[in-house]
Each structure stands twice: as structure tokens, then as C-alpha cells.
Structure 1
Amino acid sequence: MSPRRPSSPAPLIPGFTLVKPLGTGGFSDVYLYEQHRPQRKVAIKVLLADVSKDDARKLFETEANLMAQLSSHPYIVTIYQAETTEDGRSYLAMEYCSRPSLDARYRRGVLSVDEALTLAIQLCSAVHTAHLAGIVHRDIKPANVLTTDYNRPALTDFGISGTVGSHAAGMSVPWSAPEAFEEGLPPGVRMDVYSLGATIYTVLAGHSPFVHPGQDNSQAVLIERICNTQLRALARADIPDSLNQALAVAMAKDPESRFGTAAELARTLQRIQMELGFSVTEFEVMEDPAAEAAPEEEGEATRVRSVTSISDAQRPLSAGPMISFVPGQRPKDSGNSRPAKPKVAERFVAAPSDAADSSQSPAGDQADAPAAENEARSFPKIFIVVGIILVLLIGGAVAVNRLLPQDERTTEGGLPITASGDPKDPLLGGTVPMVENFKYSTVGETVTFRWENPEPNQGDFYRWAPITATDKGEVQQTKSTSATTAIAEGGQTCIEVKLVRDDGRISDASKFCTG
């Protein structure tokens, strides 16, 4: 490993006082400054003076523009300003996240399942918001997930990001999808989905997905494993099969076998939270991050872009997609008591009827109240009766609409979030058959079990473990329809086997014991 490059001399920036260096990168250095007005600490990323001006400056300005589009999201680092120093270096002033990054946190100790699921859904909401704006991050990894002063994740470093359909150099190998190593392939949404899965896996395992502790983990070996080796299931006792299934789908070798969007991944993780009895984390996404604001009717009015918080803690596991809502309707509280990152004092969700007038002040609303009251008193009763009937009819239509399958629903007032039919949700997908027709043979102190796959599919593999009446041994993975284990003490040797499809779906366990 090459030694870390020392930071370049920090520039003098009017209105800011240098505090200390924070880190170095390939194209830039990051420093902690004290901003004078308003008085606060900020992280400033400064482009190196000796890099190619045209290419590096264009990349740097692209990062500033991309992050500016997204930085109002509660889980994306906020950008304050982008300028040029007196000596001609571009810099980016952004929110200072004082707590350790996700990279530092998992290296101190793996995250609990509850914390990892919460974090993953929050990151999915940030990434899906970027995708709705046509932006692919391309470098999602633990080091690019900072932690705010309020202990919330904040996705950063869009420096190698690109719009959907473009291609730029640069990646972090351990968290990159197999197709990232192919020449000329433009970045896509499913590459970010893979990296999200790899990041979740990392904080649960304590290492990136294809690092094998104690073995050769050089870059070339990692790339070969990423492209050709099956993902090892996490063997922690507190991790359910459903979470291993979700990670297998997110990190499938074939992009078409992955979740189609970060929203689909979040939906499955919400179901796993429900399965485990955890609070369901809200999925927060801008209705339309690329849309221009509507013209203001009053010059001094302030419009707050609505944020759709998607949570449905009461939905049963067998129900339809958890990410479904009536646009513009205030969502129910999910029961998640963790406070969101305070970007503004309040977050508002405007009903569709308020969309053209949401900027009016409370004083204006109060001034109109007496007139409205008088009008109501003189309103003919027949109109009131008709209004009640219309409300009942509309309410029934909405109820029927919410009972329809996702692809048959109608939506108004915002970008609908729909789950694609491919890949199948691993928790709700088609049934995977159990293996059958066990046989066994013994050689010395070992016993070899063999079984049959009743419906073989390309990419099938198996997870097996030796079991006793009270315990379960280490879970292992194989593509073969056989497994060898040590003969158990005291008589019978038993094994359980699960069939796993390439898309992450898994069968129930088949169990068999020697005579």
C-alpha cells in the first residue's frame, strides 16, 4: 500500500478561517474551516493545484452541480457554495459531519441488524432520489457515508457520478458490480443497487462481500470473485434467511436479476423489519427532484418542496408493495422514533388541492376564516347532502384503487413509485422446491450426503449445515448436489439443505439423517 499523500497548503478563502486538514483524495484535499457569516464549521473540498485544469475542474464542477440538486434530501450532504480561490483552485463548501464515517464505524465493530436495516433504507431513499433526478452515484461504499452531528447518515462524494447513460472512469473495486469491469458499459441504476447491497453486507460482515479473511484478497483476485464467485451467506445467528435472500438479489451477477430500483430494495428491507418486530423506517423521496418550482404568486412567500415519507408499519407481510401511497396525502407515522436530519424546522406535505397555493402565510389563512364561516352558514343544506354523497363515492374509489395490484392503480399529483415485476421479490416470489431423494455413504470418520434437485435451473446452488436436535453447525455453500461432514458423536448424523435460485429465492430446509 502506498503511503498517504500529505495535504497541500490550505488556501486563504475570504470569510473562512482554517481549522485543520480533514483528508486527502485523488483530485482534492478536504479541510475544516470556520465560516464567519453565518458562524459555523464547514468542510471545504479544494481541487489540487497541479491537476489538469480542464478535465479536473469540469469533474469538480459537475460534482458541485449534482450535489446541489440533491442536497436538500435528509440523507445527502448539504452543499453551501462552490467558488474559486484567489490562486485559481475550485472549492466546494459543504456540511461538516463530525462523527465517524460508516467505514470507520464498521471497522470498530459490525452493526446490529436493526441499525443496519434502518441505515440501509435511509440510504436507499437518498439513492432513489438521485436516480429520479437522472443521477447515478457510481461509488457507493461505507467511506462515502458520513455521519452527521445528529447521528444520521449522509451520502457524499458524487465526484465520479454521472447522469444515466453517461460513463466516467473511477470506481471502488470491493463494492463495484461485475458489469463495472466491462469496457464501454454505461453506468446504470442497478449498479448502484448492487453497491447498496455490498455496503449493507459489509457493515454486517465486518469486511467487503468478496474478501475472504486469511486468503489472497488482492485487487485482481477480488475482481475475479466479484465476477465469478457466488456470494457467501452471512452466518451470523441474528441474521434471518430473508435478509440473506435480499442481499443475494441486490448483488446478483446478472443486473436483470437484481432489484430494479433502490425503492424495491427498501420495500423488501421494510418487510424484514416487520418480520423481526423492528420499527419500520420511513422511505423519504422527493416527489420530483428535477421539476422546476411553480411561479410564486406572492414575492415574499416561501415554498417548501414536499417530501413523501413512505411507511406502512401495519401492512401484513403477505400484502402488496410497501412503497405505495396516495400522492399528496400525509403518511402515517411509522413508529420510528429516530429523528430525521433537521434540514429545516419542519417538513410539509401539501395535499394536491394546496399545490398551487401552499406558499400563503398563516396570517392570510386567518384573515379568510370569518368569511368562510359566514359562507358555510348560508350554504343550502341540499348542497351539503350532495357533498357528503360525493365524498363517500370518492372515498370508495380510492379504497378500491388501493386494493388493486400496483400496476393497475391510478396516481395523480406526483411521481408514482412502482416496483417492476422483474426480479421477483424474494419474500413473495414463486415457490422454490425442496431438494429430495437423499442418500448417504460413509468413509472413515466422514459421511457424504447426496440429494436431487427436482427442478434444476441455471445458477442454482445450495446452502447446507450439519444439525442436531438442539444446534446447527456452520452454514456452507456449494453448487454440487452433495456435501461431506464429520460423523456426529453418539449415532445419527443429520444435515439440512436449502435450494437457492440465482435471483436469491430460497426453499424451505430439507432435513435428513443417517440410519
Structure 2
Amino acid sequence: MTRAAPGTPPEIPGLVYRQPLGSGGYADVFLYEQQQPRMPVAVKVLKREGLTPSILRQFVEEANTMAQLADHPYIVQVFRSEQLADGGAYLVMKYYPPPNLATRAKRERLSVEEVLRTGIQLASAVETAHRAGIIHRDVKPANVLISQYGAPGLTDFGIAGRALGPEEHDEDVGVSVPWSPPEVLYGQSNGDARSDVYSLAATLWHLLVGRSPFEQPGGDNSAYALMPRIRATPVPQTGRADVPVSLERLLGHAMAKKPDARPQTAIDLARGLQAIEQEQRFARTPIVVLDESGHTTVADSTSRADPEEPDPDRTSVRAPRVTSPQALTPSPAANPTADTGVDDETQPATISGGALLAGVGVLVLILVGALVWAVGFRGGDDPTEASTGAPSASATVGGGGPVVDLPEQPLIDGRTVPGGVAFTWQYAGVRKGDYYRVRAAASEAAVPEAQVLTVRALPHTVKAANGQVVCAQVAVARAAGASSAYSAVKCLTGG
């Protein structure tokens, strides 16, 4: 083995160099051909320039981490690793042809179905790592490779590590700012399962839009500009008409500013994505994780013979079944093997009179509820919507008092006009009498603290000098006092 200059592919026994694949901060990646058996492999080689003991330690830990998780179908497989006498090291991995997901998202518009499928597959990989006690810490589009069969492979565990306790700290943790959560960016956490959930959601948002969530096209997207947006600005809408509201909400939930407000595990996020697949009538993507004994297993099944069987990976609500009073009394002749969950010697063969009365009472409540539902159904203002079961454009909330009609969160847009910026917005379920609360400021971070203006007509123009930045967001309000959530912040320059 000869010493290689920085950026030069080393000579590796049994491998023949073919071409460069890419370069990162501390390593280069090359395509080699393995001779026995013959197949392409990717080789990650540490750069000699700037090599420190910390970088070498991270590189060794990356090899060990990826080898530990190598059996997972959505984690890039490691074949071998070696440290060299001159202080360098290399890592031989399964080859995934370019482009990675970051490049693909720039070149093409990924479908909602593909993003959902990819999200579930990556969540499976992340959950498996978490169950092994490993936090990835750098989930982002560039770290997701795609096999020749279209399956994603999560890679670059270079800053991954074991989950740390609340009193532990790792000074060597680096981050990729555009996809990192506020608590990591501002040093309140070294990363945990919930921070990986945030980064995975930010990655899916990126795949839908072609850029990271808080990046402003044509604006200042340096790390110092992004960090305050990530900390203070609401998660923006994707702006795609084909992205369902349920997916917008799930991504916003998973990118909540506070870790406790997010899905607490990657598998929780995967199940939310599965529910949206079902809602959109897409093919179901299975969740693949490690089981309790450390073996890879499918966490759910796509082949259910009985459609009435409950799906363990989906939360659902079913209509109550109306049961006759006679059915409340078990009959040993009709069901001699019924399992009551109680020892047969101590369980009475019949239900007591009190239990029977309680059962009849439940039946009456169910029938009354059904009658009330039917009356309300027939009395709706829109018989077409009621008969098809289409979701309402706004939500209703009741608490024993009057029903409140909550407007949908609006989608804000705008354009530069002479002397300022004209903002417009749209939302589903417009009601007569709707008005709007608008707040605008000279920067995105200042918008939440800006004075709120009541606006009743569109567009709303904010005065600004030529080239001056104006940022605004809007909420929909109704006469009854209900108000939507504020929109994402929109920033433009005055004309």
C-alpha cells in the first residue's frame, strides 16, 4: 500500500480504481471495481490534509456503526475498513449510482407518492439505528443514496453516536444547519431520536420543494441567516397543490420548534406517513425495523386476509356496532372456546343483571347517538358534501358551548409593486365576513413580534423603498372570534 497525496485514489489490494464520485470536508469518495467477486464498490478515503485524531476517531466509529446496521435494506452496507500505517484510513461500501436525493430534488419534481414511500423507508432505517442506541445526527438529502432498483440507502454516519444523557456533552458534534432542529443549532442538545425525526421531516420537505425548508430563493441563506429562521419562523407550506393538507400538517408537526411537540420516535413518523398513503390510496409501504432480539423484521404486514383485522401500525376509528341485548350474554353452546381473559373456574357463565342493564344502557346511547348523527347529516347545508363524506374545508370545535368554525391556515404569496410589496393569500372554505390579521416587518425573525393589522380586502400592500426587504404573514379570522393559524412568512423586496 503506497502513501496517497490528498485527492489521489490509493492503491487497494483486490480493487481497481475507476473514477472519482465526490468529495466532502474530510474525505473523498471513489469508484473502484472489486476483482473477486467482480462488482463496483464505493471507497471513502480520509484526506491526509487537516487530518486530526478526532476525525480519525469519527471515521473509525462510522465504519463500526454502519457495519453494526449493515443488514438493514435502507442503510448503506459496509464491506470492510482499514487503518493505514501513515495515519490514513478507508472504508469500502456498497456502490449506489448517482445522483443522490439532493441532486435529484434539484433536477426533478418528486411525486408525493415517492416522497411518502421514501420517508417510510428512511424512518425504518433511522428507527433501527435508534433501537441500536445510535443517533444519526446528519439526516439530509445528500446523505440518501439511491440503488439501481430505486431503494434509498442512508449513509454518512460520520457524526453519528450513541444517545447521550442529559448531563453528557460531545464537543465534536457537527451539524448541517438547513436540516437541523433549533435545540441542536443553539447547543441545547447534542441530538436525540426527536432531532433525527426533525431532520427526516426537513429532508422530506426538501424533496417536495427542491430546497431546504427555511431557505429563501435569492436571499441570504448562510448559516447565520438560516439559524434564526429555523428557531422562530413557522414551518412554511410546500406551496404544491398536489401535497395533501395532512402531509403539510405532519411535516409541520415533525418540525415543531420544541422536541416534545414532535412525534417522539421515527416509527411514529413512519406510521403517520403510512396513514397519508392510505388516505391518498397509494400502495402501502412496509416499516422494516429491528425487533427486540436484534433481528430485522417487518413491523407490519401488507397481506392481511381478513380486512376487518386491526392494523397495528395505523390508528383508526370505527363506527360502533349495534348489538342486540341477547348478544351481551355469552352462550357456551354457541362459543365453547371463547376467551374471556379470566380463569374459567372463577368466571360466571352468565352476566349479572346489573351488567345486563349496563349493556342495554350502552345500546340505548349508541342508538340515540346514531339518531342524532342522522338528523344532523340530513340537515346539512351541502347535501353533496355530506353524502360523499368529503372533508370540510374548516374544522369545528365544541366544548359544551357554541360550535366554533375554524378557518384553514392560509397560503401567502406576493409580488413587488411600485413603492412596496403587494401580499395576497388563499385558503379553502372562504366564508362571507372573513377578515384577516396581517403582521409585517423588515426581517423574518421580527415578524412574530410585529404589530397586527386588521385587513378586509386583498391585496394588502406594504410600503417599502426600492430593494428594502418586507416579510409578512397572515391569519384568517371570523366574526365568531375563531382564527386560523398564521401562514408561513413570505419575504420580498420593494420596487
Unaligned runs of 5+ in 1: 1-5, 292-304, 325-388, 398-430, 436-452, 489-494, 505-515
Higher RCO structure, 1 or 2 (CA under 8 Å, sep 6+): 1
Aligned partner of 2:190 in structure 1 is: 186
1:241 is aligned to 245
CA distance in 2, matches of 1:200, 1:276: 17
- Of 196, 221, 226 in structure 2, the residue corresponding to residue 222 of structure 1 is 226
Identity of aligned residues (%): 39
- Cα distance 1:63–1:49, how it changes in 2: closer, same or farther (>3 A)? same
Q: Point out the more displaced range, 7-16 or 144-153.
A: 7-16
1:463 matched to 2:410: yes
User: Cα gap change, 1:496/1:30 in structure 2, threshold over 3 Å: closer, same or farther?
Assistant: same
The Cα shift of 1:287 comes to 0.6
Match for residue 198 of structure 1 among 196, 202, 208: 202
- Measured in 1, the distance between the counterparts of 2:251 and 2:137 equals 18
Q: Indicate the residue corresponding to 2:464 in structure 1.
A: none
Report the RMSD for the aligned CA atoms in angstroms: 3.9
Asked whether the 8 Å contact 2:300–2:312 carries over to 1, the reply is: no
3-state SS of 2:410 partner: strand
Q: Which residue of 2 aligns with 1:54?
A: 53
Separation in structure 2 between the aligned mates of residue 201 and residue 77 of structure 1, nearest angstrom: 22
Corresponding residue of 1:273 = 277
Contact 1:285 1:308 in 2 (8 A): yes
**C-alpha contact 1:202 1:208 (8 A) present in aligned 2:** yes
Query: 8 Å contact 1:311–1:323 — kept in the other structure?
Result: no
Cα 1:247–1:35 change in 2 (3 A) is same
Contact 1:99 1:149 in 2 (8 A): no
Give the letter for the 1:138 counterpart: R
Partner of 2:297: 307
Cα deviation per residue 1:325-359 (whole Å; 9 max; x = unaligned)?
xxxxxxxxxxxxxxxxxxxxxxxxxxxxxxxxxxx
- Structure 2 alignment gaps of length 5 or more: 316-334, 343-393, 412-424, 431-435, 440-447, 461-475, 489-495
2:6 touches 2:48 (CA, 8 Å); kept in 1? Answer: no
* CA deviation map 1:381-433 (0-9, x unaligned): xxxxxxxx99x557999xxxxxxxxxxxxxxxxxxxxxxxxxxxxxxxxx975
The 8 Å contact of residues 438 and 455 in structure 2, kept in 1 or not, is answered as no
Q: Distance in 1 between matches of 2:314 and 2:161?
A: 26
What is residue 14 of structure 2 aligned with on the other side?
15
Following the alignment from structure 1 to structure 2, what is the Cα–Cα distance between the partners of residues 103 and 271? 26
After TM superposition, give the deviation of residue 14 of structure 1 in Å: 1.0
Q: Which letter does structure 2 place at the counterpart of 1:172?
A: S
Q: How far did residue 283 of structure 1 move?
A: 0.6
1:128 to 2:127 alignment:
yes
Corresponding residue for residue 102 of structure 2 = 103
Q: Distance in 1 between matches of 2:26 and 2:116?
A: 33
Partner of 2:327: none
CA, structure 1 residues 255+12, in 2 after alignment: closer, same or farther (shift >3 Å)? Answer: same
Instruction: Write the deviation string for residues 161-190 of structure 1: whole angstroms up to 9, x where unpaired.
Output: 111016342111100000112236231111
Q: Give the 5 Å matches for 1:253-292.
A: 253-288=257-292, 291=294
> Residues 50 and 466 from structure 1, CA distance in 2 versus in 1: closer, same or farther, beyond 3 angstroms?
closer
Query: Is the 1:267–1:321 Cα contact (8 Å) retained in structure 2?
Result: no
Amino acid at match of 1:150: Y
In the alignment, does 2:56 pair up with 1:84? no
Deviation string 1:85-140 (CA, Å, 9 cap, x unpaired) is 46442111000001310011100022111111001000000000000001000000
1:162 matched to 2:161? The reply is: yes
Give the match's secondary structure for 1:74.
Answer: coil
C-alpha deviation, 1:308, in angstroms: 2.2
Separation in 2 of the partners of 1:86 and 1:469? 69
Separation (CA, whole Å) in 2 of partners of 1:156 and 1:244: 26
Contact 1:70 1:76 in 2 (8 A): yes
Amino acid paired to 2:458: A
Instruction: Call closer, same or farther: CA 1:396–1:275 in 2, change over 3 Å.
Output: farther
Distance 1:70 1:184, change over 3 A: same
> Residues 394 and 11 from structure 1, CA distance in 2 versus in 1: closer, same or farther, beyond 3 angstroms?
farther
Say whether the 8 Å CA contact 2:286–2:300 is kept in structure 1.
yes
* Cα distance in 2 between the residues matched to 1:468 and 1:55: 53
Greater Rg over alpha carbons, structure: 2
The Cα of 1:50 is off from its aligned counterpart by 3.1
Separation in 2 of the partners of 1:433 and 1:501?
14
Q: Deviations over 1:53-98 (max 9, x none)?
A: 4222211110001111111100000000011346442111000001
Classify 1:306/1:256 alpha carbon distance in 2 versus 1 (closer, same or farther; 3 Å): closer
TM-score under structure 2 length normalisation: 0.64
Match of 1:39 in 2: 38
User: What SS does structure 1 have at the residue aligned with 2:33?
Assistant: strand
SS at match of 2:9: coil
